[in-house]
Amino acid sequence: WPGRGADGYIRAAGFKKGAALFCWACVLSTLGMGGMAQANAAADALCIWGMPRWLCAVLLTGAALLFAGRSLSAVGKLTERLVPVMTALFLVLCAGVLIRFPDRILPALESIVCGPFGLRPCLGGAAGYGVARAISQGVVRGAFTNEAGLGTGPLAYGSCRGGKPDVMGVLASVQVFIDTPVLCTLTAVCLLCAGWAPGTDGAALCLSAFSNAWG
């Protein structure tokens, strides 16, 4: 690898200023789209359990400072232990919703597949508003779920020592497939089966659905 991700390739091509611009764009993306948005989503979820928002800020800031000075490999070792546990727990909760409402699974899938082609969404799309909102929501949700196209993923894959580019590319593609078509579809089915509290979003939205299913 000429460098750790896209900035290395840009630098190797002779565009040092372009590589620096890319790095600064990644910093701004991490702060605006990553750190702030994810911290807010975590706080919304913790507030459901009665935790004050200021305490959420203190705990999340402390956790960030704890790992701020660590190397990328150290953070990677932490996440490679946390992510499988988080995924398994999420799948167990989703399975609980599907077990609780088995008769709602097929109607939920039908609404996902057939809903966009009804008269109301077609009229909204013809008016222009529906198309613009669908595209914007698709880009936002896609960027938040799998980061495909942001340029941040190669920073992690590029730091894998001994990893071949073709293998890393396949792993990155599989990651997007598991994360979006599989997990996001499962999440949508669970939300439609269990319902959610009005005004919730993000992690709080899922917790609301789990609460409706099992209390």
Q: Which of 103, 108, 92 lies closest to 192 in space, CA to CA?
A: 108
Chain segment 153-208, per-residue pLDDT in tens:
777 776 676 677 788 888 888 888 888 888 889 999 999 999 988 888 878 888 88
Total number of residues shown for the chain: 215
Q: Provide the pLDDT for residue 193.
A: 95
Q: Which of 60, 59, 20 lies closest to 36 in space, CA to CA?
A: 60
* DSSP code for 50: T
Are 130 and 1 spatial neighbours (Cβ–Cβ below 8 Å)? no
pTM given for the model: 0.77
Distances (CA, A) of 121 to 24, 71, 157: 39, 48, 39
Chain segment 100-158, per-residue pLDDT in tens:
999 999 999 998 888 877 777 777 777 766 677 777 777 777 777 777 777 677 777 76
